[in-house]
Every structure is written in C-alpha cells, then in structure tokens.
Amino acid sequence: MSAPGALGHFGEFGGRFVPEALMPACLELESAFIDAWGDPEFTAQYRTVLREFAGRPTPVTPLRRLSAQLGIELFAKREDLAHTGSHKINNVIGQTLLTKRMGKQRVIAETGAGQHGVATATACAQMGLECTVFMGEIDTERQALNVFRMELLGATVVPVTSGSRTLKDAVNEAMREWVTCVEDTHYCLGSVMGPHPFPWMVREMQSIIGHEALQQMDDLGASIPDFVVACVGGGSNAAGIFSGFANTSARLVGVEAAGGSAVGKGSPGVLHGMRSLLMQDEFGQIEEAYSISAGLDYPGIGPEHAHLADIGRAEYYAIGDDDVIGALEVLSLSEGIIPALETAHAVAWILKEAGREIPLGSRVLLNLSGRGDKDVAQVREILRGQQ
C-alpha cells in the first residue's frame, strides 16, 4: 500500500480535520515521522526493540485440524504471541521511540478494551516515559484488570465520563488533553485512524506483520494465500497484514463487528480528525457502536480502509455477537489457541464462509491479532448465561 497524498488523503478519505491549535503538532509529527522512517538507524532500532523486547518475529502456524474440518488450507499469523498479547505493541514501540526522538517526555493514549493502553504503558515503562491513558468509564468497569495492569506499569488511567463513556469519547478526551500539552507530550493513537499522519504512520508501524507473513508463507512452501482475513476496529491489525499482500492476487477481507460496522452501515463523515466512513444518524450525529468486544466498539474505520473498500481492493463483512463465542470455542478446541474476542470475529467469518465465499481448497491466512486471556472472564459469564 502506498503513501497518502501530501495532505494525507487516501482517495476521498483521510485528511486532517483538527482544531488550529493542534495543526502545528500534526505537521511536526508528520515531518518527524518521515525523517525517522527514512533513517536506517531508527528503523534498525525499532526492529531491535521488537525482537529483543516484544518477541518478534511472531510465527505463522498452520492450523491443520481446523483446515481438515473446513476443507481449506488455513494459516494463522500469531500476533497473540507478541508481548502484551496483541499486535498493538508494534505500533506503540514505533511511536514511543519517535516520542523520544522528538525530545518529548510524556505520552497520552486512548484505549477501549485496554489492549492499546496496556501496550502503551508497557513501552513507556520500558523507555522511561510518563504515561497517561484515557479510557471510557464504562470500559474501566468492563476491563478492570487492564486498568490495574496499566497502573502496575506506572501509567495514570483517567476514566472518561463524557458522552457514551466508551472508546469514541476516550479519543475525544485524549485530543482535548493533547491541545493543552502538545509542547512536551505525544499522543500515541492506537489504530489507523485520526488526523494525518496517524493512519499512515500506524499502518507503516504495523506493516511488519504483513512483511513477515509474506516471507513466512513462502518459507512454509505455501506462497501467496487466496484470502487474507483480519478483524477491523479502527483497522490497524488489518492494515498491517494487508500491507504485505496488497500487491499480490490475495483477496483482502476485513471483518467488522455488526454493531460497529462502518463500511456496512456507515456513510462518509468527519470525526476524530479524519474523513472516513462513520455510523451516524440523518443529521450527522455520531452513533454509538455496540459490540461484545470492546476493541471493535468504534463507530468509524480508518480512512485507508474506507478507500480500499471504495476502490474494491479490500472487502469488508460484518459478524454479529452471536457467532463470536462459538468461533472462540472452535479455535480453542481444535487448535489450542484462545483468541481475543476481536480476533474471533475474523475466525467466525472463516467458519461461516468456508465452502461458500471461500471456495473449498482455498489457502487462507488469518491475522490472529490477539490472545483471549483478557476476555475469559467475560466469556465465562456468557457461557454460564447460556446454560
């Protein structure tokens, strides 16, 4: 996937819709990123930290039992094995290194489920940066253990009580905070969303997933898959794995939560600094997303995905809450991997479409974006309720 235009546009999406007070910070970040990403010393340092600290490269695992059951050839890129349990660490390592390079001492971040917050707190602890995480009050209750993890790692967690008190409001609050402290603070956005350069920068920092996977598939003698499938909240793990396969014949599939389906139910709009597809009412008020997984509970999608959908290079489908728990159980029982609820959406789409949208015999690469440890208490509650 290529760089956006000069103003951060991917086709008709993207851009930079921020208050004037934040404009200089976005411009500064853009040039700092371009400079760092073109500096072999910086990228070498980024890869070294990912190797020594975050456990990269993560493997590609052939899912043999499930493949046999489904009549397809299924592989998983194991981001669940990265430090802190998801792909989020890749982006955070890149952005915290950039924070230091820019001479800033403090990082703020938003988080939904807490995965990006935990990853940010982790990287800040490792690099000696001060860290504040904004989290919707409802999410602090749903994910109390992640709040405690962040605190153990030395971060301050600020519960956000405005609006719907979930991820979208945490982003608003982080932006509001950033205005007051841009001089010494970097806003470490957690997905391929927000104003330019974030969607591009975060995709680049996640593209390591796709580049590793392309090579690893080749090493397995499997070469180019027919399908590359990833779940989509803002779209960072999907953008990361798509990066390795956009120039191949693989069909790229993003799976949204039905209650947060910006491509399926959204229309073009402007929120959080970007023009993208958003769930909104007839007067342009943003609608609240509802999903069993806090990480997909977002009414928008990254602008590059809106563009990929627009030009038909990637396809987006929605999976409802009902199919998610079953998919989590299937992967756990047949492969010994408990996926995150977010990831289980992608698994559910594959289970549903094998033999239909996915022809039998197809080679499919799943981005296994995170492990399910954070979700087991919630899953237990749901399964108990079903008995």
Partner 1 sequence: MTSLEKHLRELRASGRKALVPYFVAGLTPDWITHVEAAVHAGADAVEIGIPFSDPMMDGVVIQEAALRALDAGTNLDSIASDLTALSVSVPLIAMTYFNIFHHYGVERAAGKLATSGITGAIVPDLPLEEGREWFDACARHDVATVLLVAPSTPPERVSAICEACRGFCYATARMAVTGRSTDAGEGAHVVERIRAASDIPVYIGIGITTPAQAHDACTTSDGVIVGSLLVKAILDGASASDVEQMVHQFRQAID
Ligand X SMILES: Cc1ncc(COP(=O)(O)O)c(C=O)c1O
* Catalytic sites, residue numbers: 88, 110, 369
E strands, the chain, where?
Answer: 9-10, 13-14, 60-62, 73-78, 106-111, 130-136, 156-160, 185-187, 227-231, 251-257, 267-271, 274-278, 314-319, 363-368
Give least dist CB 21 to ligand X, A: 26
Judge contact between 321 and 300, C-beta under 8 A: no
One residue of 58, 61, 86, 276 binding ligand X per CB under 6 A: 86
Q: Which is nearer to ligand X, 29 or 205 (CB)?
A: 205
Residues numbered 132-171 forming contacts with partner 1, rule: CB under 8 A = 162-163, 168-169
Q: Which is nearer to ligand X, 73 or 187 (CB)?
A: 187
120 binds ligand X (CB under 6 A): no
Q: What backbone torsions phi and psi does residue 176 show, to the nearest 5 degrees?
A: -60, -40
Query: What residue 34 binds from partner 1, ligand X, none (CB within 5 to 8 A, per partner kind)?
Result: none
One residue of 15, 240, 254, 302 binding partner 1 per CB under 8 A: 15
Residue tagged 């103003």 (tokens): 7
* Region binding partner 1 by CB under 8 A among candidate stretches 109-117, 234-242, 273-281, 321-329: 273-281
What Rg do the C-alpha atoms of the chain give, in angstroms? 19
Would you give the DSSP letter of residue 340?
-
Q: Which is nearer to partner 1, 48 or 105 (CB)?
A: 105
Q: Which is nearer to partner 1, 11 or 163 (CB)?
A: 163
* Region binding partner 1 by CB under 8 A among candidate stretches 17-25, 48-56, 185-193, 342-350: 17-25
Query: What residue 370 binds from ligand X, partner 1, none (CB within 5 to 8 A, per partner kind)?
Result: ligand X
343 binds ligand X (CB under 6 A): yes
Binding mask 175-214 for partner 1 (x = CB under 8 A): xx--xxxx--------------------------------
Query: What residue 1 binds from partner 1, ligand X, none (CB within 5 to 8 A, per partner kind)?
Result: none
Judge contact between 276 and 306, C-beta under 8 A: yes
Structural tokens at position 129: 């940066």
The per-residue b/e assignment along 199-238, b for 16 or more CB within 10 angstroms, e otherwise, is bbbbbbbbbbbbebbbebbeeeeeeebbbbbbbbbbbbbb
Separation of alpha carbons 367 and 319, rounded Å: 16
Strand order, beta sheet including 274-278: 9-10, 13-14, 274-278, 267-271
Give least dist CB 269 to partner 1, A: 5
Strand order, beta sheet including 130-136: 156-160, 130-136, 106-111, 185-187
Residues numbered 365-384 forming contacts with ligand X, rule: CB under 6 A = 369-370
Structural tokens at position 43: 């990228």
Separation of alpha carbons 306 and 88, rounded Å: 21
342 binds ligand X (CB under 6 A): yes
Residues numbered 198-257 forming contacts with ligand X, rule: CB under 6 A = 231-238
One residue of 280, 343, 362, 369 binding partner 1 per CB under 8 A: 280
- For partner 1, how many residues bind (rule: CB under 8 A)? 36
Would you give the DSSP letter of residue 375?
G
340 binds ligand X (CB under 6 A): yes
Distance of CA 20 to the CA centre of its chain: 27
The sign one gets for the Cα dihedral 146, 148, 153, 158 is: positive
Q: Between 236-245 and 198-219, two packed helices, what is the crossing angle to 10 degrees?
A: 50
Separation of alpha carbons 141 and 363, rounded Å: 40
378 binds partner 1 (CB under 8 A): no
Give least dist CB 25 to partner 1, A: 7
Query: What residue 369 binds from partner 1, ligand X, none (CB within 5 to 8 A, per partner kind)?
Result: ligand X
| Residues within the interface to partner 1 (CB under 8 A) | 7, 15-21, 23-25, 162-163, 168-169, 172, 175-176, 179-182, 267-273, 275, 278, 280, 283-286
| Residues within the interface to ligand X (CB under 6 A) | 86, 112-113, 115-116, 191, 231-238, 295-296, 340, 342-343, 369-370
